[in-house]
Homo-oligomer: A and B are copies of this chain.
């Protein structure tokens, strides 16, 4: 069975707690050590029973682990690596789940002792919810996990973490940190940025009330509020650490939007129609590849009675 004797997970939020659940379900971790600096999170992890042992002490927690996965906001990695570096077992594998990879390689690698293998990873999966209760074992099934091993990384270490992600149900791809950061800028970071932006714009209207924005959100707006409800600290760190690629992709987005704005101003119906037709093909490709549901409206429920407001909050 692919896996590790002692798997230490640092940061028991949505991703960390999902890895714990998925690794146990797949039977690919002998002992799971949950580490989080927040005592409340550790208490909750113990209540949920999703790890074998749990601690707020990262230095202590990583001892004897043959794999340590950092599941914290990207900018927290440097201090965390400095803290745990001296306590890592010889030959241990260190990985992470950060949405930016250039910064992680830069911040983590210098703190790791000789003989420790560092294979950065990014599982492209998630929901808008956060914390240990939000995780679930199936989160990574059919999603892609991207590995960005620095040059010279031991191929056996890469193969081990690849098999681990595959055991959790993920597909695995390997690329350079720079290419990862460019690809994710357009498939994840800029989409989040414009979602956050339009929700902010709508919240600041004077001639349209917040109540109207909420009532009539089913016209399309509500789709954007989902990713704009994602963890603020995680996303702040993404934009601060992948600045160049995000600004490059945002520049293209803005250029295209200006062209679209001009088509509207000048009444270029054919131009609009051509773009609106072209964009349908991409969704068909995403559905065919198993990355999206074919059900209309994401399979949202229709027609049921509304939940009581207390439950919905």
List 10 A–B pairs whose Cβ atoms lie within 8 Å, in order of A's numbering: A139-B302, A184-B219, A188-B221, A193-B264, A203-B278, A214-B291, A236-B272, A239-B264, A284-B313, A287-B313
Instruction: Decide if B219 touches A257 in the complex (CB within 8 Å).
Output: no
Binding site for B on A (CB under 8 A): 99, 124-129, 134, 136-139, 141-144, 146, 169, 171, 173, 182-184, 186-205, 207-208, 210, 212-230, 232-233, 235-236, 239-240, 243, 246-247, 249-250, 252-254, 256-257, 260-261, 263-265, 267, 269, 272-273, 275-280, 282-294, 296-304, 306-307, 309, 311-313
Instruction: Decide if A312 touches B287 in the complex (CB within 8 Å).
Output: yes
Other than A134-B296, A186-B205, A243-B267, give 11 A-B pairs with Cβ distance below 8 A: A124-B219, A128-B283, A186-B213, A191-B219, A202-B282, A203-B278, A214-B282, A226-B297, A232-B273, A236-B269, A240-B264
Q: Point out the residues of chain B lying under 8 angstroms from A297, CB to CB.
A: 127-128, 226, 298
How many subunits of this chain does the assembly comprise?
Answer: 2
Interchain CA distance A261-B248 in the complex, whole Å: 11
Instruction: Decide if B283 touches A228 in the complex (CB within 8 Å).
Output: yes
A282/B213 contact (C-beta < 8 A), A275-B196, A300-B298 known: yes
SS class of chain A's interface: helix, strand, loop or mixed?
Answer: helix
Q: Point out the residues of chain B lying under 8 angstroms from A312, CB to CB.
A: 287-288, 290, 294
Q: Point out the residues of chain B lying under 8 angstroms from A307, CB to CB.
A: 290, 294
Q: Point out the residues of chain B lying under 8 angstroms from A138, CB to CB.
A: 302-303
A298/B215 contact (C-beta < 8 A), A186-B221, A208-B182, A246-B264 known: no
Partner of A247, one of B144, B213, B236, B264: B264
